[in-house]
Amino acid sequence: MKRIIIAGASSRSGKTTAACGLLSSLRRRGLCVSAYKAGPDYIDREYLSMAGKCQAYNLDTWLMSEDRMLELFTLTSAGKDIAVIEGAMGLYDGGMNSTAETARLLDAPVVLVINARSMGESAAAVALGFREFDRGINLAGVILNFTGSDYHEEIIAEALSERGIKFLGALRRDEGLAVPERHLGLLQARENEAFDIGRLTARFESSVNVDEILRLAGNVSEIRPCCEAVPSKKYDVRVGVACDEAFTFVYHESLMTLEGLGAEIVPFSPLHDKMLPDADGYIFCGGYPEIFAEGLALNAPMLESVREAAGKKPVLAECGGMMYLCRKMRDSSGRTHDMAGVIPFDSYMAGRAVMGYMTGTALRDNLLCRKGESIRGHEHHYGRIEPDFTEETGAFELVRKNGGGAHYGGYSRGKVLASWLHVNFWGCPEFARRFADGLTSSGD
């Protein structure tokens, strides 16, 4: 199985642009591709899906064990010609969850993307440092991004060659290929009408050695994951999953896990539908409800449908989904909008992000965990809840992976569990089964 990792020297190096250009170029050659995003990012993954015309997946050894990650990769890449994995942040950032560790686990060659704006031969020094930092990582070549001229590219290419580092090509500065950003990352692919994959593909194929990348991608060994035992009981249940412009942050692997347990996934739109679909329970995932708050508030029939269902059927909400379940939401402009009122809190937007991997220990039994059980996830949000969660009102005691004091978060009462925590069921199938149990009349 050919595979290649597109990593960056830092965030904003242009990894997503390069990975999308490569995926589209490979597909144009008639190859069947699979696409992945290292780390917990939802938005970059959607650009990869668009470019490769395939479902992209997340590979994250905090949200899932190494063996579960390898199992996911081998399962979803089976029968494909080549896998393209976009890294997260800089190549070595993140410690044991870094792109470098993903490359090591997958035995995948790495193509380093360097933002060469305002740099000459120093770009080669950056590449040399990345190669020497860990010789156990196969740094197979370099793509330059944001170059300004032929001369600019030539002097860096020569410096790379002199140090035995393969120059694979360069992408010139082109504002037409830039992807706009907003407060949680890139503008969502479904909203970015200006994203011209055809233009990017043409530019990539004319300036990057795709054939050489294909050759490098074949320099790999076979992966043999040790498949972990997963719950085997099957459930005849339907799970409604919020899915529209406002709610997009859901791991496809989570839905795969539920489907593997026998669940039928039923998408619905809190923005556009007038009532919830017929289902045994509902998931309100994260996204950008604050941007679409007015439209969500105006859809009164859906809000009423959610209020009625929440007292009778299990409802799981993550991040933006929790904001939707609150009584009111105050957006970035200070306007307040009525929401579902399922949980007795209000939400508002703050100027500083909360982000990072978390371990949540259940303060009481909830839809996923028994009291005292721990679950891993991550948070990335500008939202806040008022009043703050306490030991009495919270669902979890949360501790950051990289240290810091514990704090309380989430809401769990009756059949409702809502928190800032994003969870990937692929990494914790036992909790997916607990959720499925709650959807049946008798459970286990």
Average pLDDT over every residue of 13-26: 96
Tell me what percent of the residues of the chain surpass a pLDDT of 70: 93
At residue 179, the pLDDT reads: 67
At residue 29, the pLDDT reads: 96
- Residues 222-254: pLDDT tens digits? 988 877 666 678 999 999 999 999 999 999 999
Measure the CA dihedral 113/116/120/125, to 10°: -40
pTM over 0.85: yes
Q: Which of 75-84, 176-185, 418-427 has the lowest mean pLDDT?
A: 176-185
Closest CA to 237 of 267, 258, 251, 268: 258
- What letter would DSSP give residue 324? H
- What letter would DSSP give residue 4? E
Q: How far is CA 187 from CA 49, 73, 176, 178, 183, in A?
A: 15, 27, 14, 11, 9
* Long-range CB contact pairs, 157-160, < 8 A, 24+: 159/120, 159/121, 159/123, 159/124, 159/125, 160/123, 160/124, 160/127
Average pLDDT across the chain, whole number: 93
Question: Residue 332: which pLDDT band, with cuts at 50, 70 and 90?
Answer: confident
Given a cut of 60, whether residue 345 has pLDDT beyond it is: yes
Given a cut of 90, whether residue 283 has pLDDT beyond it is: yes
CA angle 49–286–64, rounded 5-degree value: 70
Given a cut of 90, whether residue 174 has pLDDT beyond it is: no
At residue 389, the pLDDT reads: 92
At residue 224, the pLDDT reads: 83
| Domain ranges for the chain | 2-217, 238-439
Average pLDDT over every residue of 204-226: 94
With b for 16 or more beta-carbon neighbours within 10 A and e for fewer, the 95-116 pattern comes to eebbbbbbbebbebbbbbbbbb
Coil vs helix vs strand at 298:
helix
CATH of domain 2-217: 3.40.50.300
Whether residue 59 contacts residue 105, with contact meaning beta carbons closer than 8 Å, is answered with no
Given a cut of 60, whether residue 443 has pLDDT beyond it is: no
Distance CA 336, CA 334 (A): 6
At residue 403, the pLDDT reads: 79
Average pLDDT over every residue of 308-326: 96
Average pLDDT over every residue of 120-140: 98
Whether residue 307 contacts residue 342, with contact meaning beta carbons closer than 8 Å, is answered with yes
Whether residue 385 contacts residue 320, with contact meaning beta carbons closer than 8 Å, is answered with no
CA angle 278–284–289, rounded 5-degree value: 125
Distance CA 254, CA 73 (A): 14
Active-site annotation, residues: 319
Question: Residue 444: which pLDDT band, with cuts at 50, 70 and 90?
Answer: very low
Given a cut of 60, whether residue 146 has pLDDT beyond it is: yes
Whether residue 212 contacts residue 141, with contact meaning beta carbons closer than 8 Å, is answered with yes
Measure the CA dihedral 8/13/18/19, to 10°: 50
Question: Residue 360: which pLDDT band, with cuts at 50, 70 and 90?
Answer: very high
**Dihedrals φ, ψ of 412, to 5°?**
-140, 110
Question: Residue 191: which pLDDT band, with cuts at 50, 70 and 90?
Answer: low
Regarding predicted confidence, which is higher, 361 or 179?
A: 361
Q: Which of 47-56, 90-99, 171-180, 428-437 has the lowest mean pLDDT?
A: 171-180
Q: Which of 14-18, 102-106, 179-183 has the lowest mean pLDDT?
A: 179-183
What's the CATH number of domain 238-439, 3.40.50.880, 3.40.50.1100, 3.30.1240.10, 3.90.1150.10? 3.40.50.880
Closest CA to 235 of 258, 203, 218: 258
Average pLDDT over every residue of 271-296: 97
Q: How far is CA 56 from CA 26, 36, 168, in A?
A: 15, 5, 24
At residue 2, the pLDDT reads: 97
Question: Residue 192: which pLDDT band, with cuts at 50, 70 and 90?
Answer: low
- Residues 63-72: pLDDT tens digits? 999 999 999 9
Distance CA 175, CA 289 (A): 29
Q: Which of 197-201, 242-246, 339-343, 427-431 has the lowest mean pLDDT?
A: 197-201
